[in-house]
Amino acid sequence: MVNVTKLAAPLDVGGVSIRNRVFLAPMSGITDQPFRQRAHAHGAGLVVSEMVASGELAKGRAGFDLRIRHSGLPVHMVQLAGREAIHMAEGARIAAGEGADIIDINMGCPAKKVTGGYAGSALMLDLDHALSLIEAVVGAVKVPVTVKMRLGWDEGALNAPTLARRAEQAGVSMVTVHGRTRCQFYQGKADWRAIARVKEAVSIPVVANGDVCSPAEAAAILDQSGADAVMVGRAHYGAPWIAGGIAAAAAGEMAVGVPQDPTALADYVVAHYEDMLALYGVESGLRQARKHLGWYLDRHAVADDSRKAILTAFEPVRVVALLRDVFSRDPQPLNLRSAA
């Protein structure tokens, strides 16, 4: 078994120093500025923006600037998605101009609305085209460029090692591999051993991703993949502290800032909610916040009627009052550990 203390060590990514090796994955509609700030405060080594469509960013579509806005953290990493080299290059220039320290290229998203536009993991169907996008981004910016991918499109095309090797040759500084194919979406178990073939193919850092929820699973994925770091995604639903907790455990320390009782959790959730309203405005913020509130409430096993009342309320003052009330009277224990 690999020594999990490795995760507490810094990692160099193209000259940018990352404080530890447990990262928050980019998640569309989730890892916005308030979420990233919380994950970083809890100790995550690197936090990545939600996926940004390069074409919309390049065209100046309203709202997309929020996704690349600098969050005031030591390392600002922006993930871009797209299929046109000209848009990817321009999006990268815009993001770097806004202070991005690292640009990540999305070649792993399995969502139909993304792959249907020949972006995300669909790029693994045509490695020559994928490389043209990588070369365009690397040539457009002076900051390090990374790539996030899957094992391949399906079991018949497990070409992640080839893509990673060619990406390194094109100047990419790190690759992240989710241990499933696109056709698996999130079904079954991530194949951590398959990530080892990517690690063997390159000399740049490899980050292993998929089904990591705890220090034990982080140790197992390192052992089976030989990766240099781990990235945690869905385990953060309603628990922005998961990556930081794994990093703390690797260092033999206590997790930072995890709410330990219902009152503390109420304060935490209310602060997150209010930060989202401040960023998006009340109308949009209410919509954006509901999924987060739902995940927090699910972890606290809140009764269905109370949950419904909170998630259907439209007045922020009412939402805050309901949150504080339900956490103060609900006797169910907190569930502070994530499930995959």
Q: What is the pLDDT of residues 109-164, one digit of tens each?
A: 999 999 999 999 999 999 999 999 999 999 999 999 999 999 999 999 999 999 99
Mean pLDDT taken over the chain: 93
Query: Is 324 known as a binding-site position?
Result: no
Average pLDDT rounded to a whole number, residues 246-272: 93
Q: What percent of the chain has pLDDT over 90?
A: 86
Model confidence at 333, pLDDT cuts 50, 70, 90, reads: very low
Collapsing DSSP to helix, strand or coil, 102 comes out as strand
Q: What is the DSSP string of 1-38?
A: ---GGGGGS-EEETTEEESSSEEEPP-TTTS-HHHHHH
Residue 203's pLDDT is 99
Residue 1's pLDDT is 59
Collapsing DSSP to helix, strand or coil, 23 comes out as strand
Partnered with residue 231 across adjacent β-strands are 23, 209
Query: Is 93 known as a binding-site position?
Result: no
| Contact between 222 and 209 (Cβ < 8 Å) | no
Model confidence at 262, pLDDT cuts 50, 70, 90, reads: confident
Query: Is 180 known as a binding-site position?
Result: no
The Cα–Cα gap between 229 and 206 comes to: 7
The Cα–Cα gap between 70 and 82 comes to: 21
Average pLDDT rounded to a whole number, residues 274-289: 95
Average pLDDT rounded to a whole number, residues 275-287: 95
Query: Is the model's pLDDT at 337 over the cut of 50?
Result: no
Query: Is 148 known as a binding-site position?
Result: yes
Least reliable range by pLDDT among 28-37, 70-79, 170-179: 70-79
pLDDT digits (tens, 9 = 90+) for 312-325: 999 999 999 999 99
Residue 340's pLDDT is 32
Residues annotated catalytic, as ranges: 109
The Cα–Cα gap between 148 and 156 comes to: 20
Query: Is the model's pLDDT at 329 over the cut of 80?
Result: no
Query: Is the model's pLDDT at 174 over the cut of 50?
Result: yes
pTM here is 0.94
Average pLDDT rounded to a whole number, residues 278-302: 93
pLDDT digits (tens, 9 = 90+) for 183-232: 999 999 999 999 999 999 999 999 999 999 999 999 999 999 999 999 99
Strand residues in 165-303 grouped as ranges (E): 174-178, 206-209, 229-232
CATH number of 5-251: 3.20.20.70
pLDDT digits (tens, 9 = 90+) for 21-70: 999 999 999 999 999 999 999 999 999 999 999 998 888 765 666 677 77
Residue 330's pLDDT is 55
Model confidence at 338, pLDDT cuts 50, 70, 90, reads: very low
The Cα–Cα gap between 81 and 164 comes to: 17
Query: Is 234 known as a binding-site position?
Result: yes
Strand residues in the chain grouped as ranges (E): 11-13, 16-18, 22-24, 46-47, 52-53, 77-81, 102-107, 145-150, 174-178, 206-209, 229-232
Residue 64's pLDDT is 63
